[in-house]
Amino acid sequence: MRRDARISCRMTAKVRKGLEEFALKEGRSLSSALEIILMGFFNGHHVVKDVSDKRRYDRRPVSVPVLVKATDSPASSLDSAVILDISLGGMCISVPEEPKSKIGSDQGSGCFEAAFVLPHLHKPVRLLCKRERVAASDGDLHVGASFIGGDLGYYQQLQKYLLQ
């Protein structure tokens, strides 16, 4: 492979010795060994992101039931939905398109409360969310929402789940 870019960096003697030993063991040049290590890291840890994805946090695909209630609705008007993916910054939920839910419609403030239990934690989480985008999908509405409020303990549970 033709190398068309130069790079210079400082590192500890221990890291350099480790790289040299790895290159010798693999029968490669130091730059080739470094390239293999870095590309393996990028591919395995999803460091190279799609530049069109502007999210601050990686999403984790899940399938978790959730109860949602628009903040400007009466307390008795709960809708059931399913969390499709979740991150520290928000989630995507699927709500039935019919009957029309306030969560997925342009009516109201766009804010809603979500209550759910994350797998393996067995404790309820309640967060205040703001609808960011809505897309139709096979008779359902996929609602992308950001987290805008909630008790610190709930955020800690979410963080514990996402980092395990």
Range of the domain at 120: 60-162
Determine the Cα angle at 150 with ends 147 and 153, to 5°: 120
On whether both 67 and 145 belong to a single domain, the answer is yes
30 inside domain: yes
pLDDT (0 to 100) of residue 126:
94
**pLDDT over threshold 90, residue 63:** yes
125 phi/psi in degrees, rounded to 5: -125, 130
Average model confidence (pLDDT) across the chain: 82
**pLDDT over threshold 70, residue 59:** yes
74 inside domain: yes
Concatenate the DSSP letters of all residues of 2-39 into one string. -----------HHHHHHHHHHHHHHT--HHHHHHHHHH
51 inside domain: no
pLDDT (0 to 100) of residue 23:
84
pLDDT (0 to 100) of residue 72:
77
Residue type, 130: K
On whether both 86 and 150 belong to a single domain, the answer is yes
pLDDT (0 to 100) of residue 36:
79
On whether both 140 and 73 belong to a single domain, the answer is yes
